[in-house]
Structure 1
Amino acid sequence: MARGGINKALVQKARAALLARGVNPSIDAVRVELGNTGSKTTISRYMQELESTDARPQADPDRLSDELTAMVSQLLKRVLEEGNVALVQERLAHQQNTAAKDQLVSELEAELKKTKQVVASRDVALAAQAEELRTSQSSLQAEITRNARISQSCADLELRIQEKDEQVRSLEDKHAHARDAMEHYRSAIKEQREQDQRRHETQLQQLQQETLQLQQALMVRQDELTRLNRDNERLLSEARQHSKLAYQSQEAMKRLEGDLGVANMATARAEGAKEMLQEQLVAVKNANEVLSSEISSLRANTVKLSQELADTTQALEVCRGDQPDMAGES
């Protein structure tokens, strides 16, 4: 929107702004700075007054080079063009704002008209409601009398309701007692079941421990049986060796007895050898008897351990058979 007029203060402000930006404060430049308002004659008069009072030396445009003058002219032309474009945009925006405000005023006037019509219709409705109120007041008196009779009936009904409430409370108390007894019974059953379950778990753990002990005992018995079998094999091997030695001794004795007739000439020398051989033979026989006794003892121990192993295996199988039954019962 254009200004209504200019004065010396506005021209001075525009001139100072141009000088601060390094622009020559010509009449056209000042007019552009003022928004293209004011006559050039008025601006020129104010500029002369300001220049006469400004003690600062003024730059002479004639001192500028042609290239700089051309650049300044182009910048001035561009500033004027951009200023005119901005002014056109501002004017267009102002026109749009004015049209929008006119539209808003029209809408507000229409709304005000509708509001007046609504108020008039409400006045008519208010008069009708006042008439209805008078009619309602007359009906209210009749209803008050009727309500008095209904209140008496309600009092009677309340007495009967209180009696019913007493009966209901009595039934609720009985129901509460029955529910408490049921809860107590359920708690007792639950506690008994938990005790049975704990006892069953304890028994199951004991059986598992016994089974583990039996398995360990079985492993120990198996180790002992293995060791005894090894000892038995060793003793049998030694017995075979002793038997072999005894057999060899017997063969040697037979050979010696066969050679006895031939060795009559060396009787003195052979008697000593004979006695020694007889002592060795006795020792070998004694050793054979000891080995035979040990072998018999080992065989008896082997039979006994085999029986204990069979009994332990059977007991372990029985325990294993009882565990699934107890698991099914839990």
Structure 2
Amino acid sequence: MARAGVYLWDVKRARDVLVASGRNPSIDAVRAELGNTGSKTTIHKYLRELEAEERNDGASVSEALQKLVSQLAEQLQAEAVVAVDVVRTQLATERDEHQQTTVSLNTQLAGLRRELESLSQQLESALQQISAMQQQLQQEQLARHAAEQRGQDLSERLAVAERHQASLEEKHKHAREALEHFRAAAKEQRDQEARRHEHQVHAVQTELRQAQQAAALKQEQLTQVNREAAALAAELAANKQAVYLEKEVSRRLQHRVEQLQAVETHAATLKSQSAEARGRVREAEAALAVALETCSELREQKAGLEAQLNSAGHTRKFEERISELQQAILRISGPHARLGDSDKGAG
């Protein structure tokens, strides 16, 4: 099947050129003369039709061909106008669509850029907050370490105080046992001496007074031990309060650590969202570039079509082709007319 633009009169003109130059009007030669366009089957069909028309010796086809040429010219012009209108409509529609697409892509790109800017600000704020909380955490960790050291020192002092209190209690116990043993011994000795020697009462009384003095001294020591025990108990209560405060500080530090971890997680999420927003911005910019390139191509196509429509050469091409066809018809009808005149002279 021949391509658009290859018609019967094209084949005839190419064949006439080959005959005028003394070459054989074969299918390949005609196709080469036509610019290597059209199929060989169509060219062969047109050559056979031309040969059949030339062998037709009775009928004059001048008027029919002129009418056919006129109809073909009108049909070609109408089809050209319709094709141009269709192309113009399609170009206008595509231009509107691409303009709408461009506006939509620009809107999406602006939104993505605003979103990216917002995410960047949030990320910067989160990073600043993380930095501040890290500094605060370091300070609180130092404070916690110092508090733990003070707690450890207080615990050691408490252990020493407990050991000292236990030692004092042991001494007090030994003193009471010694006093009781001494009283028992004194009583036994006093009874024995009262029964035996009345004159030893004075010595026993003297020893008793000494024992009482010793007991009073032990009692004073016991009172001092009790006072020291009360002071150690108060210090122990203070140490317990300090340990409680240290535990409260530790709990608050743990809460701050959890808050920091949550902020770091939020910062990671913001980074991921920022990366996704940048990817969508790159995709929107790529789509916008493609749309702009397509619009540029459509503008070039529109300019080319308008140039073709506004060019007088396009109209002259149809007129020249119609003129050539009319001349070819006249050349075909001329020999037939002369042949008819010679037949009439012979008759």
What TM-score do the two structures reach when normalised by structure 2?
A: 0.39
Question: Which of the two has higher C-alpha Rg?
Answer: 1
Higher RCO structure (Cα 8 Å, ≥6 apart) = 2
